[in-house]
Amino acid sequence: MAERALRSNLARGTSPWATRRAQWRALGLTDEEMERPKVAIVNSSSDLAICFSHLDGIVPRLKAAIRQAGGLPFEVRTAAPSDFITSAGHGGRYILPTRDLIVNDIEVAVEGALLDGMVCLASCDKTTPGQLMAAARLDLPTVVVPCGYQTGGRWCDAHIDIEDVFANAGRVPTGELSVEDLAGMADNAITSPGVCAGLGTANSMHMAAEALGMAPPGSSPCRANSDKMWAAVDWAGRRIVELVADDVRPRAVMTPGAFANAVAVMLASSASVNSVKHLQAIADEAECDVDVWGLFASLADDVPLLTDIRPNGDRHVDELDAAGGCAALLSRLSPLLDLDATTVAGRLGDVLATVQVADGEVVRPFDDPLGRDATILVVRGSLAPGGALTKRAVVDTRPMRFSGPAVLFHSREEAIDGLHAGRIRPGDVVVLRGLGPHGGPGMAFASGFIFALEASPLAGTVAVVTDSQLSGLVNKGLVVGEVAPEAAIGGPLALVEAGDTVTIDLDRRAVDLDVPPDVLAGRRTTLPPPPVRTRGWLSIYDRVVGDPARGLSLAGDPTPAGDQGRAGDPTPAGDQGRPATR
């Protein structure tokens, strides 16, 4: 293992050296320990959710592994958002912006202390992209450890997990399910720590970290507190000290080829649609010249679908785990991959040389896939010139083309009320707008409305177009999300009026507003000014959030219209009782 000077070893006799020495001697550290490579254990933990509840128990073992390898570990904490807990306030608008809080939490702790490397404990949806973004920004040797998924339970002699609870909540207002039955499902859905037991955003991003080369090989997905997880923890503790000594940095790992590898895994597994913006944000922080949206579009027809894990199919995530997980998918995808890509374990081709696929039905061969139709689609058109995203199921019977009159709503609650009041009819296109990164601010969730729609008699007869985001567990109905530019900054979505014809054509990868340009130009002159907000984290996010094409990263210039005086009172502008219109 090569030796090199450590940035954490400050010049002796200086004020920073002396004051830090005083602090660390008081912690019981020896002179010898203070000369070691200093490694941050980034722990995004919280008592608020079961997702994180085991992370504190991982830290002592990881510290021991780092010490045994010759390093000096320091645990640091970050914000810890849970999509099912932190989403209660302000319509879920805090969820996405907290990803960027994590990035900055890490920067302050690790860069402020001039530590030498990081091991990040990845858990719920926003922690993994936040940690990878920080690794890309700081460019310090880093290993991301996927800390595993939760196990489901049984209810009424059937399997139950958090996805079932989320989906079935929409059946209560229709009377199909009682509150007592929903409570019974909720009480039995989770039987261990860890992230959602499906191929939602959390498990998708765990696999993305491995495909990028930033996680221990063979570590995702894994059951929380399993032997597989503990083996990854031990490996990371040993390996990070070697990476620091050899100066292997994230920007040498997260190359254009690595991002293409990660996109291939996302497409081959029909992963969360949220992986698009997260991977783009990571690339932006790495200053890597790669268009992730373009990769999803260009690779969509080349990458075969090799597995069908819920919510996109019928199999459970533990089946993918047992079959070999992300490593098995990478092995199958070898003909399409950059095998010379560097990973934290070495050259990707060498890492995959010993990989065995344990179940060829769960992870299908490259030339005998489940299908060749892309399930994550980038769509554009007159209604989304900056792009939008839609997700198709493994077996999808939805029409490839849908055209109908627009019915407008400005919050998920307003849309749900409109659904139950009968203001949505078969053939309508629900336009749910003003919920993007600026309009939220913070990009609200439309998922509650989508599940309510699917639980109603209108399921399959209505399409949805929105500038909000969707949960990674949503794979229901014909939904076009994250429309850009968003309505709040004057995107075409803001110009839609009730009754306008909206057309979605998945064959053409298009979403269009069928209104003459001169009419739209006239409507633009009557758009109201953006609201002025002055306080809170969401106001800061509103001012500095970047373009969707860059993953909504805070690293670059904000969307130009973001500087028009919106300063962000956290009260969402869309929740002020505006009536639905037809």
Is the CB of residue 225 less than 8 Å from the CB of residue 290? Answer: no
pLDDT value at residue 477: 78
Whole-number percent of the chain with pLDDT over 90: 77
* 522-550 pLDDT tens trace: 999 999 887 777 789 999 999 889 888 88
The pair of structure tokens assigned to 420 is 């139950």
Q: Indicate if the pLDDT at residue 327 is higher than 70.
A: yes
Is the CB of residue 45 less than 8 Å from the CB of residue 52? Answer: yes
Neighbours of 158 (CB within 10 A): 9
Whole-model pTM: value is 0.93
Measure CA 157 to chain center: 32
Give the largest CA-CA distance in the chain: 76
Per the listing, tokens 């660390």 go with 24
Is the CB of residue 491 less than 8 Å from the CB of residue 467? Answer: yes
Q: What is the mean pLDDT of residues 542-563?
A: 71
Q: What is the mean pLDDT of residues 357-384?
A: 95
Q: Indicate if the pLDDT at residue 256 is higher than 50.
A: yes
> Closest Cα to residue 210, out of 162, 150, 270, 264?
264
pLDDT value at residue 475: 63
pLDDT value at residue 567: 33
Per the listing, tokens 């914000």 go with 79
Q: Where in the chain is the domain with CATH 3.50.30.80?
A: 376-530
Query: Cα separation of 234 and 64, whole Å?
Result: 9
Query: Cα separation of 442 and 396, whole Å?
Result: 31
- Name the helix (H) or strand (E) containing 118: strand 117-122
Per the listing, tokens 């991003």 go with 205
For residue 569, the number of C-alpha atoms closer than 13 Å in the C-beta half-sphere is: 9
* 399-433 pLDDT tens trace: 689 999 999 999 989 999 999 999 999 999 999 99
* Cα distance from N-terminal residue to C-terminal residue, the chain: 68
- Residue 327's φ and ψ, nearest 5 degrees, are -60, -40
pLDDT value at residue 574: 38
- Residue 423 neighbours by CB under 8 Å, 6+ apart: 407, 580, 582
Q: Indicate if the pLDDT at residue 387 is higher than 90.
A: yes
For helices 412-420 and 447-454, angle between their N-to-C axes, nearest 10 degrees = 20
Measure CA 273 to chain center: 8
Q: Where in the chain is the domain with CATH 3.40.50.2300?
A: 36-151+192-352
Q: For the chain, state the CA radius of gyration.
A: 24
Q: What is the mean pLDDT of residues 101-111?
A: 97
Query: What single DSSP character describes residue 173?
Result: T
pLDDT value at residue 473: 63
Cα separation values, 197 from 218, 230, 319, 334, Å: 18, 19, 11, 27
Query: Cα separation of 106 and 78, whole Å?
Result: 7
pLDDT value at residue 396: 62
Q: Indicate if the pLDDT at residue 576 is higher than 70.
A: no
* 187-211 pLDDT tens trace: 999 999 999 988 999 999 999 999 9
Query: Which entry of 46, 220, 331, 471 is annotated as an active-site residue?
Result: 471
Q: Indicate if the pLDDT at residue 272 is higher than 90.
A: yes
Q: Indicate if the pLDDT at residue 582 is higher than 80.
A: no
Q: Indicate if the pLDDT at residue 434 is higher than 90.
A: yes
Q: Indicate if the pLDDT at residue 562 is higher than 50.
A: no
**Judging by beta carbons within 10 Å of its beta carbon (0-12, 13-18, 19+), is residue 104 exposed, middle or buried?**
middle
Architecture of the CATH domain 376-530: 3-Layer(bba) Sandwich (3.50)
Among this protein's residues, is 403 annotated catalytic? no
Architecture of the CATH domain 36-151+192-352: 3-Layer(aba) Sandwich (3.40)
For helices 275-285 and 292-299, angle between their N-to-C axes, nearest 10 degrees = 130
Is the CB of residue 148 less than 8 Å from the CB of residue 194? Answer: yes
The pair of structure tokens assigned to 124 is 């719920």
**DSSP strand pairing (401-409 vs 501-505):** antiparallel
Is the CB of residue 103 less than 8 Å from the CB of residue 120? Answer: no
Q: What is the mean pLDDT of residues 470-486?
A: 82
pLDDT value at residue 427: 97
Q: What is the mean pLDDT of residues 32-56?
A: 96
pLDDT tier for residue 472 given thresholds of 50, 70 and 90:
low
223 beta partners: 149
542 versus 42: the higher-pLDDT residue is 42
pLDDT value at residue 397: 57
> Which alpha helices (H) appear in 213-254, and where do they start and end?
227-246, 250-253
Query: Cα separation of 188 and 545, whole Å?
Result: 39
pLDDT tier for residue 395 given thresholds of 50, 70 and 90:
low
- Residue 112 neighbours by CB under 8 Å, 6+ apart: none
Q: What is the mean pLDDT of residues 77-98?
A: 90
Mean pLDDT rounded to a whole number for the chain: 91
pLDDT value at residue 398: 62
Whole-number percent of the chain with pLDDT over 70: 93
Is the CB of residue 305 less than 8 Å from the CB of residue 375? Answer: yes
The pair of structure tokens assigned to 478 is 């014909």
Q: Indicate if the pLDDT at residue 360 is higher than 70.
A: yes
